[in-house]
Amino acid sequence: MRKLAAALAAVALLPNGAAAGEKIHVTCTTGMVGDLIENIGGERVDVTTLMGPGVDPHLYKASQGDIGRLSRADVIFYNGLFLEGKMGDILEKIAKRGKLVIAVAENIEPSLLATPPEFQGHPDPHVWFDVELWKLTIPTATEGLAQIEPASRDVFERNAEALRAELTALDAYCQERLVTIPVERRVLVTAHDAFGYFGRAYDVEVVGLQGISTASEYGLKDVHRLVDLVTSRGVKAVFVESSVPPRSIEAVVEGCRARGHDVVVGGSLFSDAMGEEGTPEGTYVGMVRHNIETIVKALQ
Ligand SMILES: [Zn+2]
């Protein structure tokens, strides 16, 4: 008993941050957040991402192993705005114990966020779809890392500057590619309402089968609504998402064909999760480029 008390006292004495010389251990929820922290932290961070390719953050629950990965981290970064809907409690509990837990999207000026009526008063959490909006997470992430390791502040700020420049170029690329689709064909039909900011930023009409979160069920009525829209507008292609089962969008394709309108699945978009590590789509920039090229090719 005395031994245990001594061990706990020793743990309590540890500073909140990385041990000297060791990398900062960071645990992130989504791949997009992990990519952000890797870019800003550079050599100084060792990033663990909980949600891999194909994982839906709206439905994700922390496993026993995840709780360990969260507890051992020097700092935790997550998207916030209720994206990780089922992880709120555990993150709150860990923050209450004194760990730095940071929602990168929650310092974005609220007037820049969209709150569509179907979101029941919550802002749309899918901010990474508008590259300029995602850039606004950089200061929060940089500040969080500098709090853990003040001596590396200059390094983090330099890395942040380089990332900002890269994302500015990426945003210009998105604009340039999407204007090659004739305006009347710029209709993006997907499985869930993840692309709202994308549509707003790049002048694309966006229609989703499911609501803002995949936790809401879609019904026959939603399928009919989309079949009506796709047939009446003559939309040529609809898209599946890598983190949502394809059957919902396949139901729309079948419905359209039954009415004599041939629509194809234009490809798979990365929506709430990135691609495999080690592939171009396993990075934020690569994921965005993949989506843009897939959409342009199918709708042009
Ligand atoms: Zn989503």
Q: 85 C-alpha to center of ligand 1: Å?
A: 10
- 83 CA to centre of ligand 1 in angstroms: 7
Distance 214 CA to ligand 1 centre (A): 6
Q: What is the Å distance from ligand 1's center to 104 Cα?
A: 16
- Residue 268's H or E segment, with its range, is strand 264-269
Q: 5: CA distance to ligand 1 center in Å?
A: 44
In sequence order, the β-bridge partners of residue 289 are none
For 138-173, what is each residue's pLDDT tens digit? 999 999 999 999 999 999 999 999 999 999 999 999
Structure token pair of residue 143: 């500040």
| Direct distance between the N- and C-terminal alpha carbons of the chain, in angstroms, rounded to an integer | 70
Q: What is the pTM of this model?
A: 0.90
Q: Which uninterrupted H or E stretch holds 227?
A: helix 220-233
Question: Are residues 213 and 151 both part of a single domain?
Answer: no
Q: What is the extent of the structural domain holding 26?
A: 2-173
User: Which is more confident, 19 or 194?
Assistant: 194
From 127, 122, 124, select the one nearest 141 (Cα to Cα): 127
Distance, CA 242 to ligand 1 centroid (Å)? 11
The reply to whether 131 and 152 lie within a common domain is yes
The enclosing H or E element of 155 equals helix 153-178
pLDDT band at 234 (very low <50, low <70, confident <90, very high): very high
In sequence order, what are the beta bridge partners of 241?
269
| Ligand 1 centroid – CA 46 distance (Å) | 26
Cα-to-centroid distance, 18 and ligand 1 (Å) = 33
Q: Which of 151, 107, 155, 157 is nearest to 17 (CA)?
A: 151
Compute, in angstroms, the gap from residue 7 CA to the centroid of ligand 1: 42
Contacts 24+ apart (CB under 8 A), 275-278: 275/53, 275/242, 276/53, 277/52, 277/53
pLDDT of residue 4: 45
Within 8 A by CB and 6+ apart from 110, the residues are: 123
Ligand 1 mean position to 74 CA, how many Å?
27
C-alpha 128 to ligand 1 mean position (Å): 11
How far, in Å, from the CA of 118 to the mean position of ligand 1? 13
Distance of CA 166 to the CA centre of its chain: 18
pLDDT, residue 19, reads 63
Same domain, 80 and 229: no
pLDDT band, residue 116 (cuts 50/70/90): confident
Q: Kindly report, residue by residue over 8-39, the tens digit of the pLDDT.
A: 444 444 445 566 679 999 999 999 999 999 99
Task: With a cut of 60, say whether residue 6 has pLDDT above it.
Answer: no
| Nearest residue to 192 via CA among 131, 257, 125, 121 | 125
Query: Which residue has better confidence, 29 or 116?
Result: 29
Q: Final residue of a domain: which of 173, 197, 223?
A: 173
Residue ending a domain, choose from 116, 143, 173: 173
Based on the fold, state whether residues 104 and 69 are members of the same structural domain. yes
Instruction: Say if residue 17 is in the same domain as residue 34.
Output: yes
193 C-alpha vs ligand 1 centroid, how far in Å?
7
Number of compact structural domains in the chain: 2
Cβ proximity of 170 and 285 under 8 Å? yes
How far from 287 is each of 35, 65, 98, 112, 251, CA to CA, in Å?
A: 11, 27, 34, 23, 26
How far is ligand 1, taken at its centre, from the CA of residue 57, in Å? 7
